[in-house]
Structure 1
Amino acid sequence: MTRDHGGNLDAARALYGGADWIDLSTGINRRPYPLPALPPEVWTALPTRPALDALSRAAAGAYGVQPAQVLPLAGAQAAIQLYPRLRAPGLARVLTPTYNEHAGALQAQGWTVEPVATLDALEGADLAVVVNPNNPDGQHHAPTVLAALSRRVGLLVVDESFADPHPALSTSAHLSDRLLILRSFGKFYGLAGVRLGFALGGPALLTRLRDLAGPWAVGGPALEIGAQALGDTRWQAQTTARLMQDAARLDALADGAGWALVGGTALFRTYATPDAARAQAALARAAIWSRIFPYSRTWVRLGLPDGADWPRVETALRGLT
């Protein structure tokens, strides 16, 4: 299967040249959390238990769970690589279209993977995957509906990597040993290079996942940065409000260019265009990189511009009309 991704700015530069690119090919917040000053020992010593506990408490508060229901990992991607090993391979169903690493990681561990188009079609699988809200179309499902689904599959994995600005969508109030939630730190906080994420689940489930991850799964700098950012409720509220406004601003520009909103989140928007490859090339000539998909000739996904990005993005989109 094709495991293509956004963030491939090297490919854009190889095709179009230039250096001053605006990378909107990911859903990463382009106004990151301000990095705190870090004590020197986080770089020189192995991660400590108190630092790990502090991060788990901060994540528990941010996600509305108990610290014992939190497992910090080196990004949501690390969890995606690990969870296929929680059970013996069998039949996995993935609600699609969605982030392609889920199917890829499952297949790599010997699972038979069936893409399905509806929640009901997930029922009966040994393992089922739902991205909520979904990447790239923003489709979302009520937490109570997903909780009920978890009782009709062997294990339900709910990827909430884009849920930070949409807390009402989280299924975290329904955790069990048949429901595993994945959370990303880097997207909402704009610090993808920190490589931090979380698995939320019942104690038995997390014990098995912790054993698979091994010791020191998260580095000292990530422990410190994550604990401070996850506890900063003021920054979270201000950022969510700004992202909502910026999403509406981008939708208006896209509408003016004749694009139709497919869906999205407060971190990215996906539009239907007459020709996705042509639209991507037109934006690339203005050194703006977007995301298109091998399964759709019309969909273009854009992350949200920030600050000085906006004038160039506005000019490029208006030039498409």
Structure 2
Amino acid sequence: MTVAPRDHGGGIDAARTRFGGDRADWIDLSTGINPVPYQPGPLPADAWTALPDRAAADALCLAARRFWSVPDGAALLAIPGASAAIAMIPTLRPAGQVHIPGPTYNEHAAAFRLAGWQVEDGPCAAPDARVVVHPNNPDGRWHDPAAAPLTVIDESFCDIAPERSLIARATDPGTLVLKSFGKFWGLAGLRLGFAIGDPALIATLADRLGPWPVSGPALSIGCQALSDPAWAEATRTRLRDDADRLDQLILPRGATLTGGTPLFRLYDHPRAEALHDHLARHHIWTRRFPWSATALRLGLPGPEGWTRLENALERFE
């Protein structure tokens, strides 16, 4: 069974094909990645040359447990990006019916379908599995899912509001909580994530990923970042301020705020396609969705991008 290519943010190469410009000319607002990433310190001399060792992996996992207040009864596994777990999780249980309320991040449904599951996005009383993205991408909804034999709570964007985390449920049987390192810390290229929860499920994931799932540089950088709560707290404040600033730019142009988080905003605009194309002609890439003619999502510009965005919006008619 094959799955058609999914709609995602990014895709600057395709944007260049249509609207021109060099890659360096573009501001990518189509993702929810923090544009002011964590700046790691020096790496160990052998981070690039030696096989990742157990001590480095243990240090990263300890830092992760402390940062997210992981309950003692939950297992924790560092993985090469949350997407690695998303692709494998449907194979941890026999295929059945999975409830994935949408619209949401579409890799979950694609992975379950590929593994032979029946995917339902409407009301579903007693599914064999439930998946929620918490907060949801793209509308920022928060969830409190009922338990299922397999329950997946994707908290890839939850570090903007740690008080809303459902990490306490990681001790529930059959439950997995996913954490992404690319969004809040802005280091998507590092390919680092975490699966936290049912020890039996985590053990199976670990076996399937093999002995060195995370690179030496990722182990070191992740440990540094997760051991820096002051950076995290300052970043939450800045993201909230920048999200408000983005609203103040977009809303007067005929848009309505319909959801989002401090990392991305979801707007409804009667001319969403025209606004998307107008910004693209100024080499600013935003996110549209195949399920809505009026939805438009924008991430945050970096410090150098605000003036360009404001100038482009002033020219929108």
With the shorter chain as reference, the TM-score category is over 0.9
Q: How does 1:27-176 map to 2 (within 5 A)?
A: 27-66=32-71, 69-116=75-122, 121-141=123-143, 145-146=144-145, 149-150=146-147, 153-175=148-170, 176=172
**Which consecutive unaligned segments of at least 5 residues does structure 1 have?**
none
User: Equivalents in 2 of 1:231, 1:202: separation in Å?
Assistant: 25
User: Equivalents in 2 of 1:255, 1:191: separation in Å?
Assistant: 29
Q: For the Cα contact (< 8 Å) 1:177–1:205, is it kept in 2? A: no
SS in 2 for 1:30: coil
Q: CA deviation at 1:66?
A: 4.4
Question: Which residue identity does 1:60 align to in structure 2?
Answer: R
Question: Which residue identity does 1:133 align to in structure 2?
Answer: P
Structure 1 vs Structure 2 CA RMSD: 1.3
User: Equivalents in 1 of 2:136, 2:47: separation in Å?
Assistant: 35
Q: CA deviation at 1:209?
A: 1.8
**Which consecutive unaligned segments of at least 5 residues does structure 2 have?**
none
- TM-score when normalising by structure 1: 0.93
Alignment length (residue pairs): 310
Out of 223, 227, 233, which is 1:231 matched to? 227
User: Equivalents in 2 of 1:43, 1:155: separation in Å?
Assistant: 37
Q: Which residue of 2 aligns with 1:199?
A: 195
Question: Which residue identity does 1:198 align to in structure 2?
Answer: F
User: Equivalents in 2 of 1:122, 1:195: separation in Å?
Assistant: 33
Q: For the Cα contact (< 8 Å) 1:122–1:128, is it kept in 2? A: no
Structure 1 residues 65, 195: closer, same or farther in 2, change over 3 A?
same
Question: Which residue identity does 2:67 align to in structure 1?
Answer: A
Query: In the alignment, does 2:187 pair up with 1:181?
Result: no
User: Equivalents in 2 of 1:200, 1:276: separation in Å?
Assistant: 38
Structure 1 stretches of at least 4 aligned residues deviating more than 3 Å after TM superposition:
none
User: Equivalents in 2 of 1:2, 1:122: separation in Å?
Assistant: 27
Query: In the alignment, does 2:8 pair up with 1:13?
Result: no
User: Equivalents in 2 of 1:30, 1:130: separation in Å?
Assistant: 25
Question: Which residue identity does 1:157 align to in structure 2?
Answer: V
Q: For the Cα contact (< 8 Å) 2:70–2:167, is it kept in 1? A: yes
Q: Which residue of 2 aligns with 1:249?
A: 245
SS in 2 for 1:188: coil
User: Equivalents in 2 of 1:192, 1:126: separation in Å?
Assistant: 31
Structure 1 residues 134, 229: closer, same or farther in 2, change over 3 A?
same
Q: CA deviation at 1:307?
A: 0.8
Question: Bigger shift: 54-63 or 35-44?
Answer: 35-44
